Structure formats: C-alpha cells, structure tokens
C-alpha cells in the first residue's frame, strides 16, 4: 500500500481496501506494562486524589517512544458492502485499539482505521471523547494525547486540551469539552472548544474538594459528577452543585443507578434517579452489594431511554462479566460476556476502562470491549451477542457518536 500525500488541506486520502468480513494484520504489537494507578475506595469510594498525587510525584513508568503521527502508516478503509447489524440511522461506532482508532459507519457498511500512537502511560483512566467530526484520546496524566479528525490522521493535542486531569464531554450544543483549570487550592472545570478557546463559565469544585488532581465524570447530559476529598459525590454545572444521594453505579442521560447507604454502610438499597426531575425511587429486588460497586469512576452505563443498566459484576470464576438490569423491575441478567482488563478481587471495577461499554442511541445495542480485546455487540432485547461481520482487531475502549 502507498501513503497518499497531503493535498494541502491537512487531510490524507485513504488507500481503499475492499474487504468482506476479513481481519487486518499489523506489525504493531500491543503496548505492555502494568497499570500504575489503582483507584481504591474508602468503604467503597476511591482514594483518587491521594493516590494520583503520589503517582505524580513518582512519575509514570517509562514507555517506548511513540511513532510520530506524520510518519504514520496509511489509513485503511474496509468496505463491507452491506449495512452492519441492520442499522439504518447515521450514528457511528468508535473503538480504540492499542495503536489505532476504529470508526464504523454501520448504515453505510464502512470501517475506517487510523493509526494513533500508543499513549505513553500505564494509567487506565483514558478519556475517549467523541465530538462532531473528531475523536479525542487522552490520558488523565501529563503525557501526549491525540485528536483524530474524520478522514484525517491523528495529531497531538495542544493548549488547554493537553493539560492533565479529567476530560469530559460538554453539552452537545457547545461542541466543547470540560478540562481542569484553576489553581490547586481552587480547582475548576472549564469548557474549552476543540479550537482551544474557553467557552462560558466554569464549574468550581465544592469547598471540600481535594486539591488537584481532582476527579470528575460526565453526568450523561453535558454537566459533571465529581467526587470530593470527603468522598462525597456532587452533581455540578456552571454556578451550581448539589449532593448526589448515593454512590453512582451506572450513569446515563435519562437516569442514574445509585447505591444509597446510611453513614455506617450497614443498610444500603439501590435507587434510580430521574435526571430530568431529580425524583428517586427504590429499585425492586436486590441487585448486588459486592464492594466493586463502589468504584470511582462508575463503570456502569444506562441506555439512552433509561430502561436498562449495563454493569460489571462478578461472574463464574470471579471474572467481571456484563449484567443487564431492568430499571423498572430490578430483574438482572448475567450475559456471560467477560470484560477486558486485569481486574480481580476488590479492584474488579477499577482496572478496566470506564469506556468498556457503550449504548447505541436507540438503546437496542450494547457494545462491549470484551476480554481478549474482542468487540462485542449485544442485542439488549435478547441478551445475545451478534457479530459485526468484520474483524476490526483488538480494542480497549468503545464509544458511540450520535
């Protein structure tokens, strides 16, 4: 294959490869190394701030130098020749492999593969953010991150988007992301456009929040959930914050699943919070009270229609498997699908990525980065796995862009 030159626009043309369900080969091996960040919880909540501060002082493990994006291999296009999973809508599936980005246009039967240099970190906290026309990949520590424009090659992040700390999708209309700003004594999250410009007011951390680096995740609707130095979770936006009555287990745009306990964690119950009204209701039945439910950030994801939560729970042999929870009845199904990562024991939900699972916009499909790097599509109505019909290679994270 030959690499087409830049046409002056900064975009590179594809070497088109017509394939029907065939895999790809690569001489680029998976980056090795053990994660250096373990986010433990005190009685169920992670000591995120203290652990990260220590790790910043000691530095991250040395990694081989990443290849310069300008010397990247050609981008590849797999033309499947038919719709994937019968999808007719225009949403797209993304997956991050060890050294590439996979973009799947299901309705058109196209799979785009773009080389992205491996991140020089063992930190499992990797932001995988989809924005209009671009995908962003960045670790929460201070190592190079990358932006991949649709149809273009990866380029290194710069300016405010390259700082350490969380990176969180902003409101859909803003075309911007939340990044850490402010002084260590007064941390805040600021909305920054993809061009690197500040946009609108910031979100200050509550007074009992830890010094930098603080931790936060998306609330599913463009604002954030953040954890403080007292291991209390707040829902926050520009100019406001309010206490979350429980520990989030799974998060989605329409609802959250939380574990609400008394001060001694002796009496706990699962509650569903409606994100639009703030109303709470007890989830029938007993989902589970294993300690990995207390992991921060929450690794469970809730379907866009608010009907179903996908969580990580212990399966046969103690391995983390995907469970679906009906948020109306509390009925739980173990799908027997193992998640990727190296989690075990109490750290079960802290060693695989918070982007191990993602829902389609119509709430029909759940995509999973499974054990062994397998990309798995699950039909939520049946709980059965379906094949994309094309091998995209090993993946570590998944995301969907509506």
pLDDT in tens, 206-223: 766 554 455 788 999 999
For the chain, what is the radius of gyration of the CA atoms? 20
* Residue 300 confidence (pLDDT): 92
Confidence tier at 373 by pLDDT (50, 70, 90)? very high
* Residue 396 confidence (pLDDT): 92
The SS3 call for residue 133 is coil
pLDDT digits (tens, 9 = 90+) for 127-167: 999 999 999 999 888 889 999 999 999 999 998 899 888 89
Q: Work out the angle at residue 131's Cα, subtended by the Cα atoms of residues 125 and 132, and round it to the nearest 5 degrees.
A: 165
Q: Name the more confident of 221 and 35.
A: 221
H/E stretch holding 50 = helix 48-58
Token pair of 197 as six digits: 């410009």
Q: How far apart are CA 13 and CA 76, in angstroms?
A: 9
Instruction: Write the DSSP assignment of 319-372 as a string of letters.
Output: -EEEEEEETTT--EEEEEEEBSS---GGGTTTSS-TTSEEE-TTS-EEEEEBGG
Please tell me the least confidently modeled range out of 55-69, 79-93, 307-321: 55-69
Mean confidence (pLDDT) of the chain:
78
Query: CB count, 10 Å around CB of 76?
Result: 20
Instruction: Write the DSSP assignment of 89-118 as a string of letters.
Output: S--EEEEE-SSEEEEEETTTTEEEEEE-PP
Q: Name the more confident of 236 and 5.
A: 236
The SS3 call for residue 261 is strand
Q: How far apart are CA 394 and CA 123, in angstroms?
A: 19
pLDDT digits (tens, 9 = 90+) for 4-15: 444 444 444 444
Q: Name the more confident of 259 and 344.
A: 259
Whether the per-residue pLDDT at 318 is higher than 90: the answer is no
């Amino acid at each position: 294959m030959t690499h087409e030159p830049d046409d002056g626009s900064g975009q590179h043309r594809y070497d088109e490869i017509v394939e029907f369900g065939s895999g790809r080969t690569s001489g680029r091996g998976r980056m090795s190394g053990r994660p250096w960040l373990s986010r433990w919880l005190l009685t169920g909540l992670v000591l995120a701030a203290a652990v990260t501060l220590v790790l910043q002082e000691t530095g991250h493990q040395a990694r081989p130098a990443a290849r310069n994006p300008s010397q990247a291999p050609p981008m590849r296009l797999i033309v499947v020749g038919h719709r994937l999973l019968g999808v007719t809508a225009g949403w797209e599936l993304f997956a991050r492999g060890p050294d590439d980005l996979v973009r799947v246009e299901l309705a058109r039967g196209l799979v785009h593969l773009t080389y992205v240099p491996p991140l020089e970190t063992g930190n499992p906290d990797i932001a995988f953010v989809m924005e209009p026309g671009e995908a962003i990949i960045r670790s929460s520590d201070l190592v190079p991150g990358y932006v991949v424009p649709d149809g273009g090659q990866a380029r290194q992040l710069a300016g405010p988007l390259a700082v350490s700390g969380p990176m969180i999708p902003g409101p859909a209309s803003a075309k911007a992301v939340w990044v850490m700003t402010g002084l260590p004594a007064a941390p805040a999250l600021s909305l920054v456009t993809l061009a690197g410009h500040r946009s609108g007011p910031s979100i200050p951390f509550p007074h009992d929040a830890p010094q930098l680096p603080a931790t936060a995740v998306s609330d599913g609707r463009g604002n954030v959930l953040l954890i403080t130095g007292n291991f209390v979770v707040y829902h926050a936006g520009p100019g406001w914050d309010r206490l979350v009555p429980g520990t989030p287990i799974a998060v989605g745009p329409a609802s959250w699943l939380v574990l609400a306990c008394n001060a001694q964690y002796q009496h706990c119950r699962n509650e569903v919070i409606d994100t639009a009204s703030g109303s709470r209701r007890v989830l029938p039945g007993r989902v589970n009270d294993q300690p990995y439910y207390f992991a921060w950030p929450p690794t469970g994801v809730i379907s866009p229609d608010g009907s179903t939560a996908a969580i990580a729970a212990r399966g046969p042999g103690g391995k983390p498997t995907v469970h679906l929870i009906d948020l109306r009845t509390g009925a739980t199904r173990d799908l027997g699908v193992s998640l990727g990562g190296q989690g075990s024991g109490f750290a079960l939900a802290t060693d695989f990525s918070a982007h191990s699972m993602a829902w389609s916009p119509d709430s029909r499909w759940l995509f999973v980065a499974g054990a062994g790097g397998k990309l798995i599509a699950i039909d939520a109505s049946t709980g059965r796995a379906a094949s994309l019909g094309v091998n995209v290679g090993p993946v570590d994270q998944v995301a969907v862009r509506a």
